[in-house]
Amino acid sequence: MRRIFLLTVFCFACLMVGAQSVRLMSYNIHNAVGMDKVRDYDRLAKVIRLFHPDMVAIQELDSVTHRSKGDDVLDELAQRTKMRAFYAPAIDYDGGKYGIGILAKKKPVAIYRYSLPGREERRALICVEFKKMVFCCTHLSLTKADRMASLKIIQDVASRYKGLKPVFVAGDFNDVPDSPLVQGLLSDFQFLTDLSQPTFPAPAPKETIDYIVAQKDASKMFLVKEAVVVDEPVASDHRPVFVKVRVGKHVNP
């Protein structure tokens, strides 16, 4: 058995060179209000810090609204996790903004924000570009037609980097694994999170709607070293998802 394992590792090394590891998380935080109706930034930050992510996609974020008592929710988390914050408002709301964001350890070389369709409310896509990769966050519409329209936009944005840099997209896709949306994503993206593990609702998850994916690229390989749906039933109405991925150049042995 040990000989077979060593042979497998050796063969994998023949296929992947220049590999690097990246730790990614996605978390719909319900605007920092838990299932106990308590707004608790420290509790959420503790969950994030436990996994030492390089980047975190965060959904459902108020920025200086009356509802959040004037707090910039993403900035509150950034301070507590000691990460950089990048915000993408989707709509004006309650005296401020409401949208999505990204926490990252490193400073990106560029930030891009895109508007996505949503009949119940406009949606957003934010992408932060680093020297060696691109990380995007989104929270898709509750309406099927709008999700499918968003799929085309996400595919178009990711395609700009194909053959250049790995592209990861994370967030609350508001759709299940056997849906047309997810099946459509499978044509262009590799799912890094476990599709069989439900993420919502947090107290007793029944549906898988939170994901992290990587754009397929013939020149690159993605090896999932760890994929976790975090056992956190109270801090939000979603459970966070975390992956540790090995990214390397694909070469012929």
Residue 31 tokens read as: 């605007």
pLDDT value at position 3? 43
For residue 11, what pLDDT is reported? Answer: 44
Pairing of strands 96-104, 84-93: antiparallel
DSSP assignment string, 97-136: EEEEEEEESS--SEEEEEEE--SSS-EEEEEEE-SS-EEE
The one-digit pLDDT tens for each residue of the chain (253 residues) are 444 333 344 344 445 677 899 999 999 999 999 999 999 999 999 999 999 999 999 999 999 999 999 999 999 999 999 999 999 999 999 999 999 999 999 999 999 999 999 999 999 999 999 999 999 999 999 999 999 999 999 999 999 999 999 999 999 999 999 999 999 999 999 999 999 999 999 999 999 999 999 999 988 999 999 999 999 999 999 999 999 999 998 644 4
The whole-number pLDDT of residue 16 equals 65
Nearest by Cα to 136 from 155, 163, 149: 155
The strand pair at 16-28 and 55-63 is best described as parallel
Q: Which domains does the chain have, with CATH numbers?
A: 21-248 (3.60.10.10)
In this prediction, residue 132 carries a pLDDT of 95
Mutual orientation of helices 73-81 and 41-50 as an angle, nearest 10°?
50
**Distance between CA 32 and CA 40 in Å, rounded?**
6
Instruction: Output the pLDDT for position 248.
Output: 92
Distance CA 51, CA 44 (A): 12
Q: CA dist 136 to 12, 66, 125, Å?
A: 28, 28, 7
Q: Alpha helix (H) ranges present in the chain?
A: 2-15, 41-50, 73-81, 144-159, 180-185
Q: How many residues does the chain have?
A: 253
The pLDDT, as a whole number, for residue 186 is 96
Provide the 3-class DSSP secondary structure of residue 164.
coil
pLDDT attached to residue 13 = 45
Element (DSSP H or E) covering residue 135 = strand 134-139
Amino acid 15: pLDDT: 58
Q: For residue 107, give the nearest of 124, 125, 128, 138 by alpha carbon.
A: 128
Q: CB-based contacts of 4: which residues, under 8 Å, 6+ apart? A: none
Q: What is the pLDDT of residue 249?
A: 85
